[in-house]
Homo-oligomer: A and B are copies of this chain.
Amino acid sequence: MQPLNSLSPGQLRQKIRRGEFTGPTAGLAAGFAQANLLIVNQAQAYDFLLFCQRNPQACPLLDVTDVGSAVSRYAAPGADIRTDLPRYRIYRHGVLEEEVCDISAHWQDDMVAFLIGCSFSFESALLANDVPVRHIEDNHNVPMYISNRQCRPAGQFSGPMVVSMRPMPTEKVVRAVQVTSRFPGVHGAPVHIGDPAALGIGDLAQPDFGNASRLNEGEVPVFWACGVTPQAVAMHSKPPLAITHAPGHMLICDVRNEQLGVI
């Protein structure tokens, strides 16, 4: 059997579609973008699309499907969004109801799927530039914090920006800004460097999501807008029905990370 990490995006999605792989997708299809998923009904779609337009750092859109279509024509044209992610979460009125590996039975013909850029893309760019990524080194989930920065509201959607944090030696910070600035489609440049209190974060050891990262002597915490923001905001507004990917179980796209670079 071919090792998973040698498979193409299409081959991986086939495997996932057949139920042969239901795990997290980190590290798979190296070089290809992976996407956060949020599906809502048409009644919520305009406000959410506008929310993303107004908050491009937290909600960088890779693609939005046509109403009722389960195909992402521009980011993953070969994928069926109902079956090709390893794991989904179903929320009703903002409450998590169940986790499933296939949402065909939940699909409705007025649904719209939003695919949102994921930090996996810029983390490979950081590693390629010799900027360390602690939570990859230590093999845990990235630490995420609810910040005191409010997103720009849009219709029924509003809420605080969730940020992810990566600690690094001072001498790596400039390069980290340069490298991630190239990728506005996957959160782009950091939103803050240094003192967590400036973002209203009291204790780095107590993240709101994920796991705390070690901060070594002399290291600086660097914060990026996080793809958990759109989900947190969408849940906060309690739409009748919302379907998301399960954390870490992303859609593997046909677009390469480098194609998302503006330079």
Residues of A within 8 A of B (CB): 45-46, 49-50, 52-54, 61, 64, 66-67, 73-74, 152, 154-155, 178, 181-182, 184, 188-189, 262-263
Contacts and interface: CB of A to CB of B under 8 A. Distances in A.
A204 B56 CA distance: 37
Could you say how many copies of this chain the assembly holds?
2
A118 B176 CA distance: 30
16 contacts: A45-B46, A49-B49, A49-B53, A50-B64, A52-B53, A53-B61, A54-B64, A66-B154, A67-B155, A73-B152, A178-B263, A181-B262, A181-B263, A182-B263, A184-B262, A188-B262
A66 B52 CA distance: 14
Contacts of A45: 46
A54 to B, nearest CB: 7
Contacts of A152: 73-74
Nearest to A188: B262
A67 B46 CA distance: 11
Contacts of A181: 262-263
A128 to B, nearest CB: 18
A127 B66 CA distance: 41
A54 B65 CA distance: 10
